[in-house]
Structure 1
């Protein structure tokens, strides 16, 4: 009889992804706020693009991390 257990290696990978997501969730909007409040600086457009990419990456990695954590708990082992 096989019992379903959490795969700890995949869980650790998912938690690392969520840690990176947490950092990006604070970095992206903070950088976006700084860029939008200083429109007269010379690097306005490149920093705006970078901050939007960081925000999008945070959303993507958030979904990927949650999916990895759920796979570690509920996916059947072959």
Structure 2
């Protein structure tokens, strides 16, 4: 009977924990940037928001894959 690899599981949980703040920061900053389209910092803030959301998606994907590997490999 195989057991859960605890070190790999903790790595996956850390990745998911890193994705959590990005999943909230990205949409909030995106909404804020669209509310201030006439401001000169619109494009940099928009790019930051899109990168934060893309980073959250990537970290969630890697975290879930790592947790699945820890449980089933």
Distance 1:25 1:42 in 2: 25
Partner of 2:5: 7
Query: Which runs of at least 4 in structure 1 moved beyond 6 Å after TM superposition?
Result: none
Q: Which runs of 5+ in 1 are unaligned?
A: none
TM-score of the aligned structures, taking structure 2 as reference length: 0.95
Cα RMSD (Å): 0.7
Q: Which runs of 5+ in 2 are unaligned?
A: none
TM-score of the aligned structures, taking structure 1 as reference length: 0.89
Partner of 1:65: 63
Specify the structure having the higher radius of gyration (Cα): 1
1:44 aligns with 2:42: yes
Tell me how many residue pairs correspond in the alignment.
Answer: 73
